[in-house]
Structure 1
Amino acid sequence: MHADIRPVPEPTPPTRSAPSAGSASHRPGSPLPGLPTGDEHELYEGYRRLREEYPLTYDASVGAWLLSRYRDVATALTDLRFTHGHRPGDVGCAAHLAPVPHAMRETVQRTAYVLARRIAGREQADLVEEYCRWLPSGAVGVRGSTTGRALLAGRCVSQISVREKALASFFANLLDHPVRLATLRTDPRLIARAWTESLRRDPPVLVVIRRTAAEVALSGGTLPAGAAVACLIGAAGRDPERFRDPHHFDPLRSDPGQLTYGLGGCPAVELAAMEAEYGLRALIEAMPRLRWADGFRPVASGLITRSPKALLVRPRG
């Protein structure tokens, strides 16, 4: 996933469309909001303000126009009038559309169970340091088949750090909701829905860059060809125009969706989901009483990529 932000000269301003309901006009002399910073509250409050008041605004610090509404970000990530950038599952994955080899599937499953058993007897463990950082690396050991070597050579499957961060947020969301975790233990078929929901609510990559190849009309105005665009995945995933109660983690929601991965048959998308499923199954089997360590609360950090830096748990309950 392309997350680099390199400043570029400010392009010609877009043609403004009429402001949507609830938007605010910009007061001359007042500063325009840029890419949000700060803690969890400040970050998502900044996203809310951009979505509601400045759905298309230029941030000179990153050299790009900011898109924050779900429909605009989804357009930028899927419309062929945008170029420069790639997500696993996008159209550009056609060169390696092959199923994940059975040997790789077995390796991921075995790695998950080995890692889980290593920490199951501990009084306390850090799932980020001892689990999330090792599980995605398990697939790297599968190089025997031609298909396996081809998949590992691709830039999608090689994005291990993205999968690590996604796993950390996934486990954090479930440990924060013991009832949801118990539901998945009873009915593992729901794990895939929980994974999609975690990618929506807490994507591992908050910002990706695109560039317009032609003029494009969006909800906040019309961008000319050649404009650099920063797609705020984190803002789009919590857009109340697209998702009901968007800040709430709900694996059973009736309006699922995520923008971290595309919808194509890219093996990296399948591999990430596989790691989440086997990783969770191994944890709850080896540690049925798994819970947060006393007094611990996960804290996510990062403005371009984001995830908890630690997940302190009591494996034995």
Structure 2
Amino acid sequence: MTALQDAPDILSAEFARNPYPYYRIMRDQHPLIWHEGMQSYIVSRYDDVEKAFRDPVFTSKNYDWQLEPVHGRTILQMDGREHATHRALVSAAFRGNELETKFRPVIERNSRELIERLRGRNPVDLVEAFATRFPINVIVDMLGLPKSDHDRFHRWYTSIMAFLSNLTQDPDVMAEGARTRDEFAAYLIPIIRQRRADPGDDLLSTLCAAEIDGERMTDEEIKAFCSLLLTAGGETTDKAITSMMKNLLEHPEQLDAVRADRTLIGAAFAETLRFSPPVHMIMRQPDEDVELSGGVVPAGSTVTCLIGAAGRDDRHYANPENFDIFRDDLTTTKAFSAAADHLAFCLGRHFCVGAMLAKTEIEIGVGMLLDAMPTVRFSDGAPPEAGVFTRAPTELWVDCTPA
């Protein structure tokens, strides 16, 4: 095991500017690091991150302090029968016929409305005008809430993500997150109670009515799930669209291939999840001492799993520093299931319940963007990425003027 003074510091300004060279050093020389400031062990190799996601010795008890203060108790903190029951209560709405018939039209409508606002704007920042708003608007509409509340939800989403990304524990950010938690509960709990009494044809009503073996979600559990959906569903899709468009614009031959064959959008999404994932780190906590590359992690410790590093591990992928939607060591047909051979959606029992929703949003949103932009290029060069916990360009200015 490596002490922090001998290894890259993930809280340093240099790391935040460009973590990828440091990820390589960590994988090769310091696969297990103890970070005193974060009170966490850090792992970076694919096999170790995969083990932390799959092996039942690893739990999500760290979410008790990481997520609960801002979301309330969520499905991510549950294990065993409780987790299985709650996952079954919510998962049906995010796959299969329910997703296709009920929510695909919602996704298409929101994408179309945002793209209509892009027309005539040139150059345009795709982050501000589309990526950061599209998934939040979709979630608000899926829940059957007023469109007039889109901006309010966007503000709550921004506040909660700041709380979750607050690795240095800034007290002002923590206080703002707590205020958002209270505001969100005061807004949503009365609506949940109204939907129980008078259900509609929306996701919130579906959650209120869902029942398995006589068990239903409480008002607080539905509120916590919606809060989690707002960030987990918003942040990942927001940053995935941004990073995917950047990656394709940097590789015009691959962009041309996707434009010619829209079935390749799924492959471009999967490769983006490997190459530049929206979420770069997820934490776990082992119930027993566990051996990983570089040493033994004691029971009860926090383990920070660097997804962004694992996705570029040359022990697992060929030429991992190259963005390649045609690579043969990443299986697109499995990329949005628990059998995925990337780590961006986690694996095992906590595999992302919204993976198919994200895939559907990406396919529709990016497909419509390409339809609306027959020509597209960077306005002023490729933008830098930003962020440590989650990461993507904060702006993506493009020029759609024909050459």
State whether TM-score is above 0.5. Answer: yes
Relative to structure 1, is the Cα distance of residues 31 and 217 closer, same or farther in structure 2, using a 3 angstrom cutoff?
A: closer
**Is 1:67–2:43 an aligned residue pair?**
yes
SS in 2 for 1:157: helix
SS in 1 for 2:20: helix
**Is 1:183–2:239 an aligned residue pair?**
no
What is residue 128 of structure 1 aligned with on the other side?
127
What is residue 176 of structure 2 aligned with on the other side?
none
What is residue 98 of structure 1 aligned with on the other side?
92
Alpha-carbon contact 1:120-1:315 (below 8 Å) kept: no
**Is 1:57–2:33 an aligned residue pair?**
yes
**Is 1:45–2:21 an aligned residue pair?**
yes
Amino acid at match of 2:312: R
Q: CA deviation at 1:46?
A: 1.2
TM score, norm. by length of structure 2: 0.66
2:366 alignment partner, one of 275, 280, 295: 280
Q: CA deviation at 1:197?
A: 0.6
Relative to structure 1, is the Cα distance of residues 122 and 41 closer, same or farther in structure 2, using a 3 angstrom cutoff?
A: closer
Alpha-carbon contact 1:121-1:315 (below 8 Å) kept: no
SS in 1 for 2:343: coil
What is residue 6 of structure 2 aligned with on the other side?
31
SS in 1 for 2:288: coil
What is residue 323 of structure 2 aligned with on the other side?
249
SS in 2 for 1:296: coil
Alpha-carbon contact 1:124-1:312 (below 8 Å) kept: yes
Structure 1 CA distance, aligned partners of 2:4 and 2:117? 59
Deviations 1:10-64 (A, max 9, x none): xxxxxx7xxxxxxxxx7x9963443264267752121111111111120111111
Structure 1 CA distance, aligned partners of 2:18 and 2:367? 34
Number of equivalenced pairs: 290
What is residue 170 of structure 2 aligned with on the other side?
none
Relative to structure 1, is the Cα distance of residues 177 and 40 closer, same or farther in structure 2, using a 3 angstrom cutoff?
A: farther
What is residue 21 of structure 1 aligned with on the other side?
none
Structure 1 CA distance, aligned partners of 2:7 and 2:291? 21
Relative to structure 1, is the Cα distance of residues 121 and 219 closer, same or farther in structure 2, using a 3 angstrom cutoff?
A: same
Structure 1 CA distance, aligned partners of 2:343 and 2:261? 25
What is residue 315 of structure 1 aligned with on the other side?
400
Q: CA deviation at 1:120?
A: 3.2
Relative to structure 1, is the Cα distance of residues 126 and 310 closer, same or farther in structure 2, using a 3 angstrom cutoff?
A: same
RMSD across aligned positions (CA): 2.7
Amino acid at match of 2:40: A
Q: CA deviation at 1:316?
A: 2.8
- Superposition misfits of 4+ residues, deviation over 6 angstroms: none
**Is 1:145–2:201 an aligned residue pair?**
yes
**Is 1:167–2:241 an aligned residue pair?**
yes
Alpha-carbon contact 1:82-1:212 (below 8 Å) kept: yes
SS in 2 for 1:227: coil
What is residue 158 of structure 1 aligned with on the other side?
230
Deviations 1:220-255 (A, max 9, x none): 222221121111111111111111111111111111
Q: CA deviation at 1:190?
A: 1.4
Structure 2 runs not aligned, ≥5 long:
64-74, 145-199, 208-221, 331-340
Q: CA deviation at 1:114?
A: 2.3
Structure 1 runs not aligned, ≥5 long:
1-15, 17-25
Alpha-carbon contact 1:291-1:314 (below 8 Å) kept: yes
What is residue 291 of structure 1 aligned with on the other side?
377
What is residue 354 of structure 2 aligned with on the other side?
268
TM score, norm. by length of structure 1: 0.82
Q: CA deviation at 1:262?
A: 3.6
What is residue 111 of structure 2 aligned with on the other side?
112
Structure 1 CA distance, aligned partners of 2:53 and 2:396? 31
1:225 alignment partner, one of 299, 310, 313: 299
SS in 1 for 2:19: helix
Q: CA deviation at 1:146?
A: 5.2
The structure whose RCO (Cα within 8 Å, separation 6+) is larger is 1
